Amino acid sequence: MTNLKFKNVTIYVVGANGETFEYHENNEYKNTSKQDVINIFKLEPLHMANNLESSNFEKAFNTYNWGAPYIFDGVASEDIYEGVALVNIHLGGDARGNYSEPYICVEPEAIFLQQTFLDIELTNGEIYSFTCDNSEAYFNFETLDPYYIDFNEVLTSEQINELKDKNEL
C-alpha cells in the first residue's frame, strides 16, 4: 500500500432518460455550459406557449434551495412524474439572478432528483464506487473531499480504510 495515490476521481450526474454524464473530474467541473445542461436534461426551447396547453403548474421551485448540482428555476406539476416543467437554467454567479430563457422539460424528475455517483480509481487499479444519498452531490467523507484531490499526495491508511469501509455499505 505504500505510495498509493489517487489516479482518477469522477462524479457523475444522472440526467434525462437515466443517462449518466460527468459532472466533476479530477478537480475540474464538466458539462457546465448552457448547451451541456440542455443536452443533459433534454430541454426544449419554449417557442410556442401552446405546447404547455395541458400542463397543470402547481409548484414553483428553485433547485438552488437544496444544493443541486445544476440549478433551475421553474414551475412544475405537484407530481413530478406527470406532465412537464417550465424552467430557466442558472448561468452562473448569484443564484438569485442570471438565468436563461425558458425551456420545456419533459422529464422534471431528472431535474428534481439529480442523482450523483462517485468513482475513485487508485494508482494500483482499484476502483471504489459510491452513490450519493442526497441530491446535493455531497459525498460524506471524513478524510477526503472528492472535489479537491491532491494527486501528488500518497493516501493515508485512514483514507484507504474509509474508502474500503464506505464502499462496502
Strand ranges for the chain from DSSP E: 6-14, 20-25, 28-29, 43-45, 59-62, 72-76, 85-90, 99-105, 116-122, 127-131
* Contact yes or no for 118/130 (Cβ under 8 A): yes
87 compared with 55, residue with greater pLDDT:
87
Please give the average per-residue pLDDT across 123-134, as a whole number: 91
Reply yes or no on whether the pLDDT at 29 is more than 70: yes
Reply yes or no on whether the pLDDT at 66 is more than 90: no
Please give the average per-residue pLDDT across 41-55, as a whole number: 82
Q: What is the pLDDT of residue 1?
A: 52
pTM of the model: 0.90
82-86, 114-118, 158-162: which has the minimum mean pLDDT? Answer: 82-86
